[in-house]
Chain A
Amino acid sequence: MTHTRRLFLQRGLALVSVGVTVPTFLDSTVMAMEDPLDVKRTQRESGKDGPILVVVQMSGGNDGLSMVVPYADDAYHRARPTLAHGPKDVLKLNEYVGLNQNLTGIKGLYDSGMASVLQGVGYPNPNRSHFRSMDIWQSGIPEKEMVTSGWLGRFFDNTCAGEDPHQGVVLGESTPLAMKGEKTTPLAFDKPGNYRYKGRDAGSYTSLNQPSESSPTTKPAAMAKAAPAKLITPDSQLSFLTRTAMDARVSSDKVLSIVNGYQTAQSYPNGSFGEGLRTVAAMIRGGLPTKVYYVSLGGFDTHAGQEGRHDRLMKDLDQGVAAFWKDMKEQKNEQRVTMMAFSEFGRRVAQNASGGTDHGAAAPMFLFGPSIAKKAGIVGRHPSLTDLDQGDLKYGLDFRNVYASILQEWLKTPSKPVLGRQFEPLPIFKA
């Protein structure tokens, strides 16, 4: 029997007697702790068929023209004298565009109908500041200057009752606005190994973070005589903290045992992105009730010396995504997952004098998964390379239509309460 479960069983009555509400998740999770990899048992509560969204954020402004390359357009070669990829250097999707040659795994997904390339995605009056544009993409509300919650956070607010801490999981050191709700916050850790108590006396720690069973309290000798011999701290705050600490301990045990015990034949690329995706795969396999996972790949702000740098990023992205989907297939969980990849903006059409590109506007987005409709291999027209807005591509698809598709047709939830108004879903998912 695990330590946590034993404690829970020992102290269960005490918990009840002091009137602390045991979170529902603790109840079902602790009972399933015997074997966290026992999918049948751990998933009983959350519904084994619940859809999962994995968000991949390409931070820094991904050069869309080097990812989905309009190799057949002379204007592209004129604008990118040293950075352009020729017809032989791309994985052709059609007579006009091809994928960056490093995206062989993604090309495989595309060929098997599991990828959708959304061309020219953006929003009105594009902002070229990383921070502002990222806020816009993450909040889902470009019109408002200051938004305190993100689109996925509002999805949690609207749909996830209860306090299960695993509904959203961020692999990263801080929580992106996208995942922040008004009422809910996701789980966030850079590495699973940091999602634990690091003190050396775990036993005492555990006892100290249980509800107290004694009502008489001590009066620390160093306090003045007048200090009342009663518990001062408001019960509600203490029990809130105690409950969160118990949640954290159980959740940490669970996450760590799932991730540490995870075995897969797939090799993920080194670095936080690949390791993050591997952790996501492990957590999906472990049967956590998580609806959204969020991972990031940084380094896309290629103002100088872009050649080689961007290709390496493409390779990293491709290897991670490809390994993840092979893993899902092997787990037989691929039907449950859709992946979305985006960046805060694309880059200027013309390259600059430093062999790089500056902040731009519209760019491609990607969706992956077996639920992609047959006809959705390429969605939207490629933006013109000559009819530009201040040197940048004009958007043809609004990203909020993509969000609406994901919310309504994948996560099966109304998109209007999340996005503030109704956006028409695009024909991306299978009916």
Chain B
Amino acid sequence: MAKLHPMLEPFGSAPGETWDRMHAAHLLNRATFGGNDADVAEAYALGAVGAIDKLLDFPDAPVEEISQTAGPDLSGITDYPKTAADRRQLFQGKTEEEKKVLQQQIQQANNEAVREVAGWWMRRMATGPYPLQEKLAFFWHGHFTTSARDERSAWLMWGQNETLRTYAAGNFAKFAKAMAHDPAMLDYLNNQQNKKAHPNENFARELMELFTLGIGNYTENDVKEGARAFTGWAHNGEEYVFRKFDHDDGDKTFLGRRGKFDGTDVVDIILQQPVCGAYIASRLWCNFVNEDPDPAICQSLGQQLRDNNYELRPVIRILLSSRAFHSDQNLGGLIKSPVQLIVGLARQMGLDDMRFGKLRDSLKQMGQEPLMPPNVKGWPGGRQWINTSTLFVRQNTALQMIAERGAKIRRNDGANRPDEAVDAWLARLIQRPVAADRRDILVKALGNRVTDDSLRGMIGLIVSMPEFQLC
């Protein structure tokens, strides 16, 4: 094993690195969608190693394998065939006109189903048993991007969602191959049209540019030859199919190698490129640590990924345990994505029955609807989330959630004096120290008498602070 970069050594191994509630909250902000009081207390009690072990302890399996009733329930959506066979049956014997009407009904039902899956997913992020699995799945959703935007089947999107969950911390090599066989992905990146006679380069290009190597680490010729290897990789509306007659089985020259490569060979060759490990490491870094990855650290982390045969779990463990991850300048340094913002607040306010579907318009205005990334690059993130319009929507949406009937705002949780109440809620919602003058404003706004109503008003102000936009 290669030596670890010093910044990747475990936090706590040097003097002055002390695990406290702030670091526990930071871990939960980054490795989940944010923790409530009980989550933070538990993580603090477990210690860094214990807390990270617990987060990483989830089955590498789809939800439907873990529990048959845990997945989204689409049964309430009428006229929505589940399989291609159901669909064929529905269309059988219908006139052209009836088919057209049916087609429109299915399209409408599909939109509804996509929204249902997205709402289900956010609820699982907030209240499910394995929040790191969902955090990772959501990260991979923006990495191996596929969008339902152009009326892509909700069933295919759901199938892909389960794949993202299955490999979230699994083996990246197997993950990449699974995604290259994923019907929604093949559909999204036009591999249905990738045929021997007319190759379509879209999937092969994005596989290298965005999913594995990064721009500049392959040539245009590699794209052309890679595309040939994926010809005939298609789907039938339900699952992957290999269309032999569309496949080009001739010799290809790809990343300096020559042979009768198919798609699997191409993925294997890509994974042998040293740059692949560092590229994946830098993507993880940007999502979990900060937006300015240090090349030397990513090099070291990428080497770990390669040394572990692309097993992600040990690498994620290193990342979450690292001195860099827990360093002061990374606490509260990321701008929350819209999904983090609302899922985290739901968790912190105890909104266990939150119907995320009703926040759909807000998510749209904030620029992030799950299952609907704007393009293959996923969501740009960081400061791109914030402009004068989205900031209002973020603040107003948080206010709307605070006003929810289910929001657990209790007056008597041990913090009876106005300043105690402010401190308790700052600890709960900001989780980091704030400037004294900010705190004074909140104490003043709360007034001398702490009532449920004045408390709600003060909490509304906390979620309207610039600090609340960060995690």
Question: Contact residues of A with B, CB < 8 Å?
Answer: 129-132, 145-148, 165, 173-175, 177, 185, 187-190, 194-201, 204-205, 207-209, 212-234, 237-238, 240-242, 244-245, 247-248, 251-252, 303-304, 352-354
Inter-chain CA distance A257–B431, complex, in Å, is: 37
Contact call A238/B433, Cβ cutoff below 8 A: no
Contact mask for chain B residues 268-296; partner A; CB cutoff 8 A; 1 contact, 0 none = 00000000000000000000000000000
Asked whether any CB of chain A lies closer than 8 Å to the CB of B264, the reply is no
Inter-chain CA distance A195–B389, complex, in Å, is: 6
Ranked nearest first, the 9 interchain pairs of A and B with the lowest CB-CB distance are A222-B427, A224-B20, A212-B435, A241-B466, A248-B388, A131-B150, A233-B332, A220-B427, A226-B20
Most-contacted residue by chain A among B335, B380, B465 (CB, 10 A): B465
Most-contacted residue by chain A among B97, B392, B423, B430 (CB, 10 A): B392
Would you give 29 A-B contacts (Cβ < 8 Å), ordered by A? A131-B149, A131-B150, A146-B202, A146-B206, A146-B375, A165-B387, A174-B367, A185-B384, A199-B395, A200-B457, A201-B445, A208-B441, A217-B434, A218-B433, A220-B423, A223-B20, A223-B22, A224-B20, A224-B21, A226-B18, A227-B433, A228-B328, A228-B433, A241-B335, A241-B470, A248-B391, A252-B392, A303-B100, A353-B97
User: Within the complex, what minimum Cβ distance (angstroms) separates A42 from chain B?
Assistant: 17
When A146-B377, A232-B331 are in contact, do A220 and B426 touch as well, CB less than 8 Å? Answer: yes
When A227-B20, A241-B470 are in contact, do A248 and B465 touch as well, CB less than 8 Å? Answer: no
Inter-chain CA distance A190–B392, complex, in Å, is: 13
Inter-chain CA distance A199–B22, complex, in Å, is: 28
Contact call A201/B21, Cβ cutoff below 8 A: no
Asked whether any CB of chain A lies closer than 8 Å to the CB of B439, the reply is yes
When A146-B377, A209-B464, A209-B465 are in contact, do A216 and B436 touch as well, CB less than 8 Å? Answer: yes
Q: Which residues of A contact B445 (CB under 8 A)?
A: 201, 204
Contact call A244/B391, Cβ cutoff below 8 A: yes
Q: Which residues of A contact B20 (CB under 8 A)?
A: 223-227
When A217-B436, A227-B22, A232-B328 are in contact, do A196 and B100 touch as well, CB less than 8 Å? Answer: no
Closest residue of chain A to B399, judged by CB? Answer: A199
Inter-chain CA distance A152–B388, complex, in Å, is: 19
Contact call B433/A229, Cβ cutoff below 8 A: yes
Q: Which residues of A contact B64 (CB under 8 A)?
A: none
Partner of B22, one of A173, A194, A224: A224
User: Within the complex, what minimum Cβ distance (angstroms) separates A138 from chain B?
Assistant: 12
Q: What would 19 more interface pairs be, CB under 8 Å, given A174-B364, A226-B22?
A: A146-B202, A197-B392, A197-B395, A197-B464, A205-B461, A209-B465, A212-B437, A216-B436, A217-B434, A222-B424, A223-B20, A227-B21, A228-B433, A231-B433, A234-B332, A241-B386, A248-B392, A352-B100, A354-B97
Inter-chain CA distance A229–B392, complex, in Å, is: 30
Asked whether any CB of chain A lies closer than 8 Å to the CB of B376, the reply is yes
Contact call B104/A251, Cβ cutoff below 8 A: no
Asked whether any CB of chain A lies closer than 8 Å to the CB of B174, the reply is no
Chain B interface, >50% SS class: helix
Closest residue of chain A to B364, judged by CB? Answer: A174
Inter-chain CA distance A425–B78, complex, in Å, is: 51
Asked whether any CB of chain A lies closer than 8 Å to the CB of B420, the reply is yes
Question: Contact residues of B with A, CB < 8 Å?
Answer: 18, 20-22, 37, 44, 96-97, 100-101, 104, 149-151, 190, 202, 206, 328-329, 331-333, 335, 361, 364-365, 367, 374-377, 380, 383-384, 386-389, 391-393, 395-396, 399, 420, 423-424, 426-428, 430-439, 441-442, 444-445, 457, 460-461, 464-467, 469-470
Most-contacted residue by chain B among A197, A207, A232 (CB, 10 A): A232
Partner of A213, one of B18, B375, B437: B437
Inter-chain CA distance A354–B98, complex, in Å, is: 10
Q: Which residues of A contact B44 (CB under 8 A)?
A: 224
Inter-chain CA distance A308–B259, complex, in Å, is: 62
Closest residue of chain A to B462, judged by CB? Answer: A208
Inter-chain CA distance A122–B18, complex, in Å, is: 64
Inter-chain CA distance A353–B95, complex, in Å, is: 11
Contact call B396/A197, Cβ cutoff below 8 A: yes
User: Within the complex, what minimum Cβ distance (angstroms) separates A218 from chain B?
Assistant: 5
Closest residue of chain A to B402, judged by CB? Answer: A199
Partner of B329, one of A224, A234, A245, A303: A234
Partner of A238, one of B387, B424, B457, B470: B470
Contact call B470/A222, Cβ cutoff below 8 A: no
Inter-chain CA distance A338–B384, complex, in Å, is: 30
When A187-B387, A354-B97 are in contact, do A238 and B396 touch as well, CB less than 8 Å? Answer: no
Inter-chain CA distance A84–B190, complex, in Å, is: 37
Partner of B331, one of A189, A224, A233: A233
Partner of B386, one of A175, A223, A244: A244
Closest residue of chain A to B420, judged by CB? Answer: A221
When A220-B433, A233-B333 are in contact, do A199 and B460 touch as well, CB less than 8 Å? Answer: yes
Inter-chain CA distance A195–B470, complex, in Å, is: 22
Contact call A238/B389, Cβ cutoff below 8 A: no
Inter-chain CA distance A126–B37, complex, in Å, is: 56
Q: Which residues of A contact B442 (CB under 8 A)?
A: 204, 208
Contact call B457/A201, Cβ cutoff below 8 A: yes
When A353-B96, A354-B100 are in contact, do A208 and B464 touch as well, CB less than 8 Å? Answer: yes
Inter-chain CA distance A309–B388, complex, in Å, is: 37
Inter-chain CA distance A122–B328, complex, in Å, is: 55
Q: Which residues of B contact A174 (CB under 8 A)?
A: 364-365, 367
Inter-chain CA distance A187–B430, complex, in Å, is: 28
Q: Which residues of A contact B22 (CB under 8 A)?
A: 223-224, 226-227, 232
Inter-chain CA distance A352–B101, complex, in Å, is: 12
User: Within the complex, what minimum Cβ distance (angstroms) separates A210 from chain B?
Assistant: 9
Partner of B464, one of A194, A199, A213, A219: A199
Closest residue of chain B to A198, judged by CB? Answer: B396
Q: Which residues of B contact A231 (CB under 8 A)?
A: 433-435
User: Within the complex, what minimum Cβ distance (angstroms) separates B22 from chain A?
Assistant: 5
Contact call A145/B460, Cβ cutoff below 8 A: no
Closest residue of chain A to B21, judged by CB? Answer: A224
Inter-chain CA distance A242–B392, complex, in Å, is: 13
Contact call A223/B433, Cβ cutoff below 8 A: yes
Contact call A233/B388, Cβ cutoff below 8 A: no
Inter-chain CA distance A197–B395, complex, in Å, is: 7
